[in-house]
Structure formats: C-alpha cells, structure tokens
Amino acid sequence: MKPKNLKTKIFLDSGDPLETKKTLELLGFLDGQTTNPTLIAKNPEVSKRIKMGKKFTKKEIYAFYRKVIQEISRIIPQGSVSVEVYADFNTTSSEMLKEAREMFSWIPNAHIKLPITKEGLITAHQVVKEGMRVNMTLCFTQEQAAAVSLATRGSNRGNVFISPFIGRLDDMGKDGMSLISNILKSYKNDKNNKVEVLAASVRNLSHFLSSLSLECDIITAPFSVLSEWAEKGCPILTSPYIPQANLETIPFDNSPYLLTDWKQINIENELTRKGIERFCVDWKALIV
C-alpha cells in the first residue's frame, strides 16, 4: 500500500503493460507511467518481431504504440500516461502540434511528451492553451526549466511536467540530483509556477531515495528500481540530500530567468541534442 507520509507521485518508466501490472501488484499503487521511443523499442512484442527480421511500417508502429498506451491507461485509469511525439531536428512546431493532438485523443489521461527545443516550446505554449497536458522532456539546465515554466503560464498544476534527466548528467561527471534540487528551489521561489518536477533517468535506488528526500513532485523509475524499493519496505528518506563526492555539483543559478521572455532564454544543450538523436535512432530502427 502507498506509504502515508509519501508526498511524491511514483511513476513507472516502461513501454511494457506487463510491467505496469507487476508494479501495481508489487506496490499496491501506481500514480502514472512514462514511455518514449526507446522504451517502446524494448517492448517484448517489438523485440521479438525485430529479431525475426520483421520491421513495422510507420502506420503499424503508431498503431502498436497506441495499443500499448491504451492498455496501460486501462490498468491505471486514474494515473498519468506520458506519450512522446516523434521529433527530430527538422520537425516543426506545426508537425508536433498535429501529432500531439492525435496522441492526446488516444486516452483520457495522457501527458504529451515534447522536447525542450525552440519548436517543442512553441508547441507546448499552444497545446496548454487548448487544454492539453504536457511532459517537457530531456531537461538538463535551470534555463530550460525556466523557459518551460514561462512558456506554459496559465496552465493548471498537474497539467505540465518537466523531466530533468539525472543519470545522463551523472554519466558526464555532474551530479544530476543537484539539478533536481536547483529546479525545485527555483520553482518554489516563483509563486506563479505551476510546473511539476518529474525526476527521470533514475538509474538506481540512490537516485530514487534522494529524489524522495528532496520531495520531488514525481519520480519515474524502471521496474528494477521500484522492485528494489518495495523489497526494502518502501523507505522514505527524510534527511537532507548529500551531494556525491565523486560528481561535480551543479551550482544554483540566481539569474532572474523567470522574469524574462521565455523566447529569449538560452535552452540549447548538447545532452538534449544527444537525447533527441538517440530517440530518433531507436524509433527509425523499427520502421521499414
């Protein structure tokens, strides 16, 4: 059952509905699930088909994605399910908008994942006006977080998530948890902010427990991490987060980004670019 003192929403990071069922049985609750092209590529049905040398047409892979999303939605009808639009560096806002509208119609509890790029933010600015919910993904800086908050002003709390990627920053020798802490602090200082922070790229139980100790709004984690948490009795750390000595702490930036025009904020980041490239490669590998 859900711990009484748990303030953070717990999501599963997976493209497999069987893991959704297992997690729900294991924890006794599940607040949502995040998916992306890489996770869909790892779905057992997809893996089996690819191993047989049978790729999908574009129409078939979207139909499969929709089927998976709808199955997950049936399992956790009260939770959030993040569905990611395909976006490479040539994808325009109008193209993202068209796909976002289509995917949002798939289920009643969707959050549409958009990249934190110029075109992605333009799309987010529009879709929240239309009443859609979004999850802005591949966040690696406070500047990006500020731009998301400003671009989605007017939305209600719960309608906009931002996903900072912890593990990928760790891979670069930087403490990804310090970015989570910085964004939470900057959002707390802004009384008009409605964006919820979703800790992503959670690689291990330490990432998970540290995110809990920071009282992050949401954590999405793979089944292996959620299983380990359950095995230990679903502990919740209350002690302050202590930065890892072997990683470079990302300093808090006091610059008044939240007081500027989001279009003027520098959101360019190499890790965001690499993340988009990876998702595109994984998605295209499935299509004839």
Catalytic residues: 113
> Which among 78, 128, 74 has a CA at the least distance from the CA of 104?
128
Establish how many alpha carbons lie within 13 A of residue 63's alpha carbon, considering only the half-sphere containing its beta carbon.
6
Query: What is the 8-class DSSP label of residue 251?
Result: P
Residues 6 or more apart in contact with residue 172 via CB below 8 angstroms: 271
Distances in whole angstroms, Cα of residue 72 to Cα of each of 26, 109, 115, 160: 16, 10, 22, 20
Yes or no: say if 70 and 89 are a contact pair by the CB < 8 Å rule. no
Coil, helix or strand for 2?
coil
